Amino acid sequence: MKISDIFAQNERTFSFEFFPPKDEISAIDFGVNVGQLMKLSPSFVSVTYGAGGSTGGRTFALVDYLQNKIGLTVMAHYTCVGASRSKVLEDIRYFRSKNIENLMLLRGDPPKGAADFAPPPDGFAHASELIALVSGEFNRLFTIGAGCYPEKHPEAETLEQDILQLKKKTDAGADFLIAQLFFDNRAYFDFVEKVRKAGIGCRVIPGIIPITSYAQLNRFFKLSGATIPGGLADKLEAAKDNPDRILRIGVDYAIEQCRGLLEGGAPGIHFYTLNKSSATVEIFETIR
Ligand SMILES: Cc1cc2nc3c(=O)[nH]c(=O)nc-3n(C[C@H](O)[C@H](O)[C@H](O)COP(=O)(O)OP(=O)(O)OC[C@H]3O[C@@H](n4cnc5c(N)ncnc54)[C@H](O)[C@@H]3O)c2cc1C
């Protein structure tokens, strides 16, 4: 099913993001966790794609499995790092051949060790170019999602400039946006207001990640630059040697964050599950 059809029937969607397991043990763990999450009947699920195609084969196999064996509505992530135009077209045809009707189209990050993003000679410098190609060549066969950044993309000088670039993605054919993780709802609502002023009318689905360990915090910050509100940071700092307490604080915070988002009019929640189920199950069951 196309996500645009799901939107037409539902004011809100609840979706789960997974990454392809790296080895056999993680695959077993993944199966157990997905089993728990499926009981919650998500609107759709998405599968990430490693930069430069590093998870290419595993992403392709997993989206095929979830879509065709489990019968879920799947959105395949796809990045154009290092990919030529013909490779992109070949990969998108593969998704089509596996009945995938939804794509999250991204530029991707520069490969490890490279300071800046450098497209190959016949490739793409920005996600908007990838979106324009797929949207044009496949004649709207896919619902297309794109990424957005309530606290600005790390490479953008200002949020305003980033939003101008974001508009290119929706003009090129992105049907909806999923927001990078954030912990301060004010950042999301201010961002949506600015996005609307810039003439972007589509859904902006907040992306939520539950904090489940103290060690994750640094990684989240490096990934997204997301601000951790003072009160939350203090609580986490005070409990940093108590993993159970950190988990409790993280889950309770995510529950309140999701409630605040939904009460404020957000069109659902996209959960970055990190392939774990217990925190997401508790949050989802509490908020719905
Ligand atoms: C919901 C979501 C899912 C993600 N999934 C994955 C995944 O599966 N795999 C993965 O590797 N990464 C993933 N990412 C991370 C993403 O690849 C990185 O954030 C990447 O650095 C930017 O990708 P983008 O598609 O937003 O790029 P773009 O939209 O191209 O933007 C990148 C930067 O370029 C600027 N820019 C854009 N267009 C122009 C233009 N025309 N001229 C000048 N500047 C411009 C923007 O302001 C921004 O600073 C995801 C991110 C999000 C939010």
Query: In Å, what is the CA distance from 51 to each residue of 87, 118, 129, 195, 215?
Result: 14, 13, 17, 27, 23
Are the C-beta atoms of residues 210 and 249 closer than 8 Å to each other?
Answer: no
> How far is Cα 277 from Cα 280, in angstroms, rounded to an integer?
5
pLDDT bucket at 51, cuts 50 / 70 / 90: confident
Region 30-55 average pLDDT: 91
Share of the chain above pLDDT 70, in %: 99
Which ligand 1 atom sits closest to the C-alpha of 169?
A: 29
Q: What is the pLDDT of residue 218?
A: 78
pLDDT bucket at 57, cuts 50 / 70 / 90: confident
| Per-residue pLDDT at 205 exceeds 80 | yes
Q: How many beta carbons lie within 10 A of that of residue 264, not counting itself?
A: 13
Q: What is the CATH number of the domain that holds 202?
A: 3.20.20.220
Condensed to tens digits (0 to 9), the pLDDT of residues 231-251 reads: 999 999 999 999 999 999 999
Output the residue whose Cα is nearest ligand 1's atom 20.
Answer: 108
Ligand 1 binding pocket includes 204 (Cβ within 6 Å): no
Give the DSSP letter of residue 67. I
Angle subtended at Cα 286 by Cα 285 and Cα 288, rounded to the nearest 5 degrees:
70
What average pLDDT is seen over the chain?
Answer: 94
> How far is Cα 67 from Cα 98, in angstroms, rounded to an integer?
8
Domain count, the chain: 1
Q: Which residues span the domain enclosing 42? A: 3-287
Condensed to tens digits (0 to 9), the pLDDT of residues 100-138 reads: 999 999 999 987 778 788 888 899 999 999 999 999 999
Share of the chain above pLDDT 90, in %: 87
pLDDT bucket at 55, cuts 50 / 70 / 90: confident
17 is catalytic: yes
> How far is Cα 145 from Cα 62, in angstroms, rounded to an integer?
19
More confident residue, 219 or 40: 40
| Active-site entry in 11, 17, 157, 237 | 17
> How far is Cα 80 from Cα 153, in angstroms, rounded to an integer?
17
Condensed to tens digits (0 to 9), the pLDDT of residues 165-198 reads: 999 999 999 999 999 999 999 999 999 999 999 9
Ligand 1 binding pocket includes 168 (Cβ within 6 Å): yes
Q: What is the pLDDT of residue 255?
A: 98
Output the residue whose Cα is nearest ligand 1's atom 39.
Answer: 165
